[in-house]
Amino acid sequence: RVMKDSGILATYSCARIIRDNMAAADLVYDDGPIVGRRGPGTIATKWV
């Protein structure tokens, strides 16, 4: 499973376990857009 340095990962999930695992994989994440729900999604990338 390879992600380019310029790659962007987007998910509907905002669960803490997902975000913790993204941080453990050296990804920088932030809130994504709210699409038909109360909570935001998550967008992550390798670069800042």
The reported pLDDT for the residue numbered 48 is: 60
The reported pLDDT for the residue numbered 37 is: 77
Give the pLDDT of the chain (48 residues) as one tens digit per residue: 688 888 999 999 999 999 999 999 999 999 998 888 788 999 999 976
State the pTM of this model.
Answer: 0.79
According to DSSP, the residues that pair with 43 across neighbouring strands are 10, 30
Write out the DSSP string of 1-48. ----TT-EEEES---HHHHHHHHHTT-EEEE----SSSS--EEEES--
Task: Tell me the C-alpha distance between 16 and 6, whole Å.
Answer: 24
The reported pLDDT for the residue numbered 1 is: 65
